[in-house]
Structure 1
Amino acid sequence: MSPAAAPASSAADTRHAEPTEDNVRELVYAFYDRVRADELLGPVFDEKLAGRWDDHLPKMCRFWGSLVLGTKTYRGNVQQVHQPLDGIEPRHFSRWLFLFLDTVESRFRPAAAVRFMEPALRIAQSLQLSRFGWDYPIPAEQQALLERVAPRRHPKNDVDDAHAHRPRGEPFPAKIVGRATDGDA
C-alpha cells in the first residue's frame, strides 16, 4: 500500500470495529513480523532483541493494551528504553510509523485505528524530540504520513464546528514539532 492510499470501506469490511485483547495481540505480532522483515528496521531491532523476541512481544501486547484498552498492565519508561539505541535517524521513525499505520489500517476500521495512531504519533514525536532536539527536520515521508493520518484543517467555512478548538493548519491528533523539510509548515 502506498503512503497516500488507505483501505477502502465497504459493506464487507472485515476490519475490527473495536480493539480487544485478542486483536491487539494479533496486531502486535503482525506488526513486528513486518518490522523484522524490513530492510531498514529489521537489523536495528534484531541487534537489540536477538534471542529476546519471546519476551518483547508479550510486553508490547501489554503496552498497546494499556494504551488502547486501558488495561494498565504495562510498566516501563518508553524514553529510557529507547535512548541507548545507536544510529537511529528520523527515517527510522518514519518507517516505523508507516509500517504501524499500514498494519493498523489493514486490521481496524478508522475510528478504532485512531485509538492506536494518536498515541503512536505522540510517542514518536516525544522520542524524536528527545533524540534530535526541537528543530529536527521532519522527513518528507513522515510529513506525508502525517497528512495521510490527519489532513490539515481547511479554512473555517469548510470545517464543522465540532473540531473548531484545534488551531488552524495543525494536524490531528497531535501537533508535530520540528521543521517541515519544505520549510512551509
Structure 2
Amino acid sequence: MTTTDALTADTRHTEPTEDNIRELVYAFYDRVRGDALLGPVFDGVLAGRWDDHLPKMCRFWASLVLGSKTYQGNVQQAHQPLPGIEPRHFSHWLYLFLDTVESRYRPAAAIQFMEPALRIAQSLQLSRFGWNYTIPAEQQALLTRIAPRERAAGSGHGH
C-alpha cells in the first residue's frame, strides 16, 4: 500500500450519515453524467430535472442505509420506461457506484451500500430482461461475497 493509499483509507467514512450520503450521491452522479455510456441515458431522461432527482436519490439511499424512511417511490416503475437499456448499462452502473462507494467508505460501511445496490440491480435486471436472464457471474460472485449468509443458507448438503 502506498502512502497515498494509506491516506485515502484513513480519510474514508466509517459510518454513513445523511451528509456523507449526500456527498456520495452527488459524486456518483457527477461521474454518471460525465460517463460516455451512462451519461447520455441519464441525461435523456433527467435533462432539466437533475435538481429534483439528486435529492430524491439522497432520500433513497438514506432510507436504505440509515432506515430514515424518507424516500417515497417505486424503484421498478421508475426504471421500466428507460429506452435502450442493455445488460452492459447495469454492469457499468454497478462498477461506477461500487467504485465511488469504496473510495468514500471503509469496508464495513461500504457494504451497507453495496449489498442493496447489487440486490436492486439484480431485481431490475430480472424484471427488465426476464426471469430466464442470467445475472453476470462477476456480479453474482460479488453479491455472494458481500452477503455470505445467502451462500451459507443455500449450501446445505442435505445429510
TM-score, normalised via structure 2 length:
0.85
Gaps of 5+ in 1: 1-7, 154-158, 169-185
Runs of 4+ deviating beyond 2 Å: 8-12, 143-153, 162-168
Matches within 5 A, 1:107-126: 107-126=104-123
Query: How far has the Cα of 1:52 moved from its partner?
Result: 0.6
Tell me the residue number matched to 2:138.
144
Contact 2:33–2:43 (8 Å) recurs in 1: yes
Tell me the residue number matched to 1:93.
90
Aligned partners of 1:146, 1:10: CA distance in 2, in Å?
31
State which of 52, 58, 61 in structure 1 corresponds to 2:58: 61
Tell me the residue number matched to 1:167.
154
Contact 2:144–2:150 (8 Å) recurs in 1: no
- Alpha carbons of 1:118 and 1:163: their partners in 2 closer, same or farther (altered >3 Å)? closer
TM-score, normalised via structure 1 length:
0.74
Higher helix share: 2
Tell me the number of residue pairs that the alignment of Structure 1 and Structure 2 aligns.
152
Contact 1:98–1:145 (8 Å) recurs in 2: no
Query: How far has the Cα of 1:149 moved from its partner?
Result: 5.8
Contact 2:144–2:151 (8 Å) recurs in 1: no
Q: What RMSD over aligned residues (CA atoms) do the two structures have, in Å?
A: 2.7
Gaps of 5+ in 2: none
Query: How far has the Cα of 1:122 moved from its partner?
Result: 1.0
